[in-house]
Amino acid sequence: MNYAIFRSEPIYTLHDLAQIGSHNKREKKVYNSNPNIKIELSSNNIELKPLNEKYVKGFYNLTKEYKKDHDERMKNERQDRKKTFSKMVNQSKNVVADELLFTATNDFFRNMSQEDIKEWANTCMEFVYEDLGYIKEQVLHATVHMDEKTPHIHCVVIPLLKKYDKRTNTERYTISKKQYIRDKIHLSELQDKYHKRLTDRGYDLERGIKGSDREHIKIKDYKKINRKLEQNLNISNEMLDKAMNDFNAKMKTTKSTLIGKDYVKVKKDTFDSMKKVIDESKKVMKLQPKLQQVFNEVDDYISSYKLLEKQNMKYKKEMENLENKNNNLQSENNTLIKTINHIFQLLKNFLRKLLLRGNEFVKDETVEMVKECYDSEDFDMFDVIDISRGTTKQDDLFEYVNAPDYWKTSIKEYDDYYNSKDNNEMCL
């Protein structure tokens, strides 16, 4: 069976919007080594609503009237309440944008020409305009990625509108996703409409898993999914173990010269081993959403299927085996997450110690590694703060991740603190 897939992913800050723009427009250098993206095929990507500028600049162009109104209001605000437009949208409870994702299972696109896929994509965009209710001016960018295994649409919309404000008795601009997708129930209704629109156009697609209705899903389908995920998880575990063993070996060989009085010596292959651990950890983490989705679906499936047990007892044993397998995989997944979190904490401690005790070359190399981990979303802003706060590189890294200045502290204070700590926390 082929399933119609439509999801909505909120974007809460302009920084996140910029990151998504770099991905959607293939601007990130890291994708040159991403095995899921074939850069040589990126020229085949289909622009449904082109954008010739950066996402954030496009956002400001779409919201210039909103910004104008905001700036006018700020003229009459108390000094301690004044905010720039960008600060206001970043700190708002509302989203700054919404990313709509459209695709189907891989077999659906088999033997489709680029023109066939474009026709399917145009049907999806009709859903955006006619069922969701967006106008073309609210669509920041829409593209079909043809350079990955399964074609899919990224459609980024700015849900900008004017709403009546009872407090001021005026209409004011706001960005509100809830005006278009109210809640999960409404989203489910929209997914029904999306499926109907596609089938009305002759596309042979199933609505997919919905609510507790699981009668059309066969046990063997879930067993196949679990088997594939279990295989991927085992491979990822093996690769992560190999990377960790290699890194531990490198650490042992450099232990006697790792920390000097005024500097840290780290060989290039040790840095490479550390980066390998991060890369393999990231691959494992990418499996987590897929695993969690299967766990949730299997749990729902089990609940609904038990209603049919009295009519068909022969499936009871199959259900018990599936439930046990699901529980075992969930337990292994939880253990793996704890292990990865521990590894990342050790890596953060190690990078921080390099920033505190290393010579300028080591510090510069460490800064570049931290930035790369942040760009690839291995670290978030608070991770970077933890690593760099109180070091000579805190200004550079704080500025890179737009961290608030009030998190900064004196270099001497933290250097003394780390000099007094047990160096054994470096050991992996």
Residue 211 lies in a domain: no
The predicted structure's pLDDT at residue 424: 41
pLDDT the model gives residue 256: 47
Mean pLDDT of 297-304: 52
233 and 311, same domain (yes or no): yes
Question: Is residue 387 located within the same domain as residue 304?
Answer: yes
Task: Return left, alpha or beta for 205; rule: phi > 0 is left, psi -120 to 50 is alpha, else beta.
Answer: beta
CA atoms within 13 Å, Cβ hemisphere of 393: 29
Clarify whether residues 9 and 43 are in a common domain: yes
Residue 79 lies in a domain: yes
More confident residue, 64 or 418: 64
> Which pair of tokens denotes residue 423?
């160096």
All residues at 6 or more sequence positions from 61 whose CB lies less than 8 Å from its CB, including other chains: 53
> Does residue 146 sit within a domain?
yes
Q: Are 427 and 248 in contact (CB under 8 A)?
A: no
Together in a domain, 145 and 224? no
Please indicate, yes or no, if residue 130 is contained in any of the structural domains.
yes
Looking at the structure, tell me whether residues 358 and 282 fall in a common domain. Answer: yes
State the total domains in the chain: 2
Does residue 247 sit in the same domain as residue 152?
no
Cα–Cα distance, 267 to 353 (Å, whole number):
15
Determine the residue type at 380: D
Per-residue pLDDT, averaged over 199-212, amounts to: 77
With a threshold of 0.75, does the pTM exceed it?
no
pLDDT of residue 298: 57
Long-range Cβ contacts of 250-257 (<8 Å, 24+ apart): 251/427, 251/428
pLDDT tens for each residue of 90-125: 998 889 999 999 999 888 999 999 999 999 999 999
Mode of pairing for the β-strands spanning 97-104 and 152-157: antiparallel
Residues 196 and 223 in one domain: no
For residues 222-241, average pLDDT? 64
Here the tokens at position 164 are: 């009546």
- Within-domain flag for 326: yes
Mean pLDDT confidence for 236-265: 62
- My answer on whether 184 and 93 are in the same domain is yes
Domain residue limits at 191? 4-200
Residues 186 and 270 in one domain: no
- pLDDT value at 221 more than 70: no
Cα separation, 304 vs 296, in Å, equals 13
Q: Is residue 212 part of a domain?
A: no
User: Which helix (DSSP H) or strand (DSSP E) does residue 269 occupy?
Assistant: helix 268-305
CB atoms within 10 A of CB 321: 12
Is residue 208 helix, strand or coil? coil
Q: How much is the pLDDT for 245?
A: 72
What is the predicted pLDDT for the residue at 15?
Answer: 94
**pLDDT for 369-405, tens place per residue?**
999 888 888 889 999 999 999 999 999 999 998 988 8
Q: What are the strands, taking DSSP E only, across 94-195? A: 97-104, 139-145, 152-157, 160-165, 170-175
Q: Which of 149, 172, 200 is the last residue of a domain?
A: 200
In a domain, 162, yes or no: yes
Please indicate, yes or no, whether residues 193 and 225 belong to a single structural domain of this protein: no
CATH number at residue 25: 3.30.930.30
Model confidence at 24: pLDDT above 90: yes
Whole-angstrom distance, CA of residue 211 vs CA of residue 293: 14
* Contact in structure between 356 and 391 (CB atoms under 8 Å): yes
* Residue 409 pLDDT: 85
Continuous segment of H or E residues that includes residue 120: helix 114-126
**pLDDT one-digit tens code per residue, 155-192:** 999 999 988 877 778 889 999 999 999 998 999 999 99
Q: Does some domain include residue 342? A: yes
CB 237: neighbour CB atoms within 10 A?
15
- Tell me which of 324 and 137 has the higher pLDDT: 137
Same domain, 22 and 155: yes
User: Where is the domain boundary, 165, 200, 235?
Assistant: 200
Domain boundary residue, one of 168, 200, 232: 200
pLDDT at residue 217, rounded to an integer = 46
User: CA 38 → CA 31, 48, 149, 193, 322, distances in Å?
Assistant: 9, 20, 9, 33, 36
Q: Do residue 106 and residue 146 come from a single domain?
A: yes
Q: Is 97 helix (H, G, I), strand (E, B) or coil?
A: strand
pLDDT at 266: 60
